Amino acid sequence: MPHPLLIRVALVAALACAPAGAQTAPSVALEGVEGVAVLDALAQECYEAGLTPDMASAEVLDCSSVIEERLLAGAPEGEDRFVVTHKIRFTLLGRGAEARVGAEAWTETEELGSVIEQPVTSGDYLGRAQRVLRAVVARLRSRATPPWAGRYESEQAWHLDAHLKAVSHCDSNLASMTAGSVAAELRSIGLYPLDDDTRDLCEQLQTHLFEWALARGESAPTVAAYARERAALPPDQRVCTGQLAPDATCPP
């Protein structure tokens, strides 16, 4: 059985020789933005997509999430796990004016003691990864005034206030919720559900809503009010998290 790294190298080489018109690997110029700041921002994008970030080196960020996991009946002990993992790697490339950040995505299948890696070639997924790269670099270059400025002394204070208010809200209203109903609300306003536990989903939703409201000087946010303001924005300015997840969608 070939070593997994050799399998992956062969697959990547095959992609490089793909015919004209094949999906281009996601990549964007840094245009003066610090690479470390870009990787930090991409780690947050991974988290918001339910992926686990791992800084493999100062220039490489790996993110992964298990797609499927089960036991194989009748397989030898130690080789009875079937696991499919989605992975995406962000790498800083070049120096100076040529500096870029690129992305490479693949699935890793562990079965019967062997590991096979296969590149993600979905145009939809690679297009979403490209948009994430562009948005992260553009956001870091914009130097826009942070939403908490003028109301909080730090970003951490803003996040903490929103989280505590979200916890209180969920304490009072959890009995009227289901995991499905909260997940549907999250998706309806462009947020990717990070769990299947009702409490965790409630805190995810309400923390986001309170951050939005507190930055505006308000204290009683609702999904409906947030949705109305989101819908009034140009499509490219609407929050849509979790785009690095394999199953991500974005409401209009």
Q: Which of 18-32, 61-75, 144-158, 195-209 has the lowest mean pLDDT?
A: 18-32
User: Region 35-48: what's the mean pLDDT?
Assistant: 96
- Please indicate, yes or no, whether residues 137 and 159 belong to a single structural domain of this protein: no
CB 139 within 8 A of CB 41: yes
From 101, 116, 142, the end of a domain falls on 142
The verdict on residue 244 lying in a domain is no
Q: What is the mean pLDDT of the chain?
A: 88
The verdict on residue 118 lying in a domain is yes
- Please indicate, yes or no, whether residues 54 and 124 belong to a single structural domain of this protein: yes
The verdict on residue 250 lying in a domain is no
The verdict on residue 246 lying in a domain is no
Residue with the larger pLDDT of the pair 175 and 3? 175
The verdict on residue 172 lying in a domain is yes
User: Region 215-224: what's the mean pLDDT?
Assistant: 95
Statement: residue 214 has pLDDT above 90? yes
Q: Which of 77-86, 109-118, 134-143, 242-251 has the lowest mean pLDDT?
A: 77-86
User: Region 190-204: what's the mean pLDDT?
Assistant: 96
From 82, 109, 142, the end of a domain falls on 142
pLDDT at 23: 61
What pTM does this model have?
A: 0.81
Q: How many helices (H) and strands (E) does the chain have?
A: 7, 6
For 102, the domain range is 4-142
- Please indicate, yes or no, whether residues 159 and 97 belong to a single structural domain of this protein: no
Name which of 130, 84, 114 is nearest 3 in CA terms.
Answer: 114
- Please indicate, yes or no, whether residues 137 and 172 belong to a single structural domain of this protein: no
Q: Which two tokens stand for residue 242?
A: 């979790």
Q: What is the pLDDT of residues 153-193, one digit of tens each?
A: 999 999 999 999 999 999 999 999 999 999 999 999 999 99
Q: What is the pLDDT of residues 90-142, one digit of tens each?
A: 999 999 889 999 999 999 998 877 899 999 999 999 999 999 999 999 999 98
Amino acid identity for residue 202 in this structure: C
pLDDT at 97: 87
List Cβ neighbours of 129 (8 Å cut-off, separation of 6 or more). Answer: 26, 88, 103, 105, 243, 244
CB 120 within 8 A of CB 107: yes
User: Region 195-223: what's the mean pLDDT?
Assistant: 96
Q: How many domains does the chain have?
A: 2
| 3-class DSSP assignment, residue 93 | strand
pLDDT at 136: 95
Statement: residue 12 has pLDDT above 50? no
Phi, psi of 96 (to 5 degrees): 55, -130
Phi, psi of 207 (to 5 degrees): -60, -45
- Please indicate, yes or no, whether residues 54 and 21 belong to a single structural domain of this protein: yes
The verdict on residue 243 lying in a domain is no
User: Region 239-250: what's the mean pLDDT?
Assistant: 92
Statement: residue 7 has pLDDT above 80? no
pLDDT at 157: 97
Name which of 211, 219, 221 is nearest 163 in CA terms.
Answer: 211
- How many beta carbons lie within 10 A of that of residue 4, not counting itself? 14
Of 17-26, 140-149, 175-184, the range with the highest mean pLDDT is: 175-184
Q: What is the CATH number of the domain that holds 13?
A: 3.30.530
Name which of 116, 93, 119 is nearest 105 in CA terms.
Answer: 119
Statement: residue 19 has pLDDT above 50? no
Name which of 129, 81, 67 is nearest 101 in CA terms.
Answer: 129
The verdict on residue 252 lying in a domain is no
- Please indicate, yes or no, whether residues 208 and 95 belong to a single structural domain of this protein: no
The verdict on residue 200 lying in a domain is yes
Q: pLDDT band for position 3 (50/70/90)?
A: very low
- Please indicate, yes or no, whether residues 10 and 123 belong to a single structural domain of this protein: yes
- Please indicate, yes or no, whether residues 10 and 65 belong to a single structural domain of this protein: yes
- Please indicate, yes or no, whether residues 164 and 211 belong to a single structural domain of this protein: yes
> What is the number of residues in the chain?
252
Statement: residue 246 has pLDDT above 80? yes
- Please indicate, yes or no, whether residues 31 and 97 belong to a single structural domain of this protein: yes
Q: What is the pLDDT of residues 43-69, one digit of tens each?
A: 999 999 999 999 999 999 999 999 998
- Please indicate, yes or no, whether residues 118 and 194 belong to a single structural domain of this protein: no
Ramachandran bin of 64, using left for φ above 0, alpha for ψ from -120 to 50, beta for the remaining angles: beta
- Please indicate, yes or no, whether residues 130 and 180 belong to a single structural domain of this protein: no
Name which of 17, 25, 9, 16 is nearest 118 in CA terms.
Answer: 9
From 92, 107, 142, the end of a domain falls on 142
